Amino acid sequence: MIELLNVHKAFGRHKVLDGVSFQVPEGSSLVIMGPSGTGKSVLLKHIIGLLRPDQGDVIVEGRSVPSLTDRELRSLRRDMGYLFQHGALINWLSVFDNVALPLRETTRLSETEVRERVDQVLEMVQLLDHGKKLPSEISGGMQKRVGLARALVTQPRLILYDEPEAGLDPGMSISISNVIRELQAKLNMTSVVVTHSMTCARLTGDRLAVFDQGRFIAEGVPDEVFQSDHPRVRDFLGDSPALQT
C-alpha cells in the first residue's frame, strides 16, 4: 500500500505539490496524467524517498518514508522498482549487465540464476537479442525498454513507472502496457504509472488521477475520468477522448 497524506513541496518559491493525498491499495494500480512540468515526476520521487516533503507524509507499506534512515531507505528500495523517465542506464555496461545490476547488488543469486531472470525480462520487453549491446548502440525506445526490464527484474512488490510508453511507437506502447498489466495481475504488484497516453492509462490503470497545479483535480476509474466535464480535465484531455492515443 502506498499512501500520500497532504504532501506539499516547493523548490524555492516555486510550489510544485500543494496538498496531494491518495492511496494505492496493495495489488492495485493508479495512473497519473497531467500537463508537462507540473510535478508528476516530483511526486514519484517522494514515494521512493529521493525527495522529502516540506509538509505531509508518505507512507509505504506502513512506514513513513521521510523519516527512514538511509539504511532503511535502501531496504525499502529493494522492494520497489522504479522506471526513470530518462532511462538512467549506465553507459559503459551492456544491456544485459544494466538489467542484471539490481540482482547482483541486492540478491545472492548465482550467475546462472541471474542469466535466467535477465533473459526472462529481456524477452518480455522484446530485447533478448540485444543483451550484448551498449546503451549507445540501441534506439531511445529500446533504452526505455531496457529501463523497464531493469525495474522489473527483481520482481518488486511495488513499482513506479515514469512514462513507460514515452518514445515508443503505438504498437510497442500497447505491447509494453500489456506487459505491465499482465505483471500486475501475475505478481500482485502495487503500482503507480505516470503517462501521457490514454491507451496506456486504460490498459494499466485500475484508477486514474489527473494532476494539475499541485493537486489532483479528478480521480476515478479511467473511463469515468475521461468522461469528466471538469473544465481543466477537458482542456488537458481535449474534447474528443476517442481520438486520443
Segment interacting with Mg ion, rule: CB under 5 A, options 77-85, 90-98, 100-108, 221-229: 77-85
* 151 forms part of the interface with ligand ATP (CB under 6 A): no
* 13 forms part of the interface with ligand ATP (CB under 6 A): no
* 195 forms part of the interface with Mg ion (CB under 5 A): no
144 within 8 A of 136, measured Cβ to Cβ: no
* 216 forms part of the interface with ligand ATP (CB under 6 A): no
Spatial CB neighbours of 138, under 8 Å, sequence gap ≥ 6: 95, 130, 146
Q: For ligand ATP, which residue of 2, 4, 16, 142 counts as binding (CB under 6 A)?
A: 16
Cβ closest to ligand ATP, residue 36 vs residue 136: 36
* 39 forms part of the interface with ligand ATP (CB under 6 A): yes
Q: Judged by CB under 6 A, how many residues of this single chain contact ligand ATP?
A: 10
Map the footprint of ligand ATP across residues 46-85, applying CB under 6 A. Answer: 85
Q: How far, in Å, CA of 175 to CA of 168, rounded?
A: 10
Beta strand ranges found along the chain (DSSP E)? 2-11, 14-24, 29-33, 55-60, 63-64, 80-83, 158-162, 190-194, 207-212, 215-220
- Give, in degrees to the nearest 5, the angle at Cα 32 between 155 and 140: 65
The binding site for ligand ATP (CB under 6 A) comprises: 11, 16, 36-42, 85
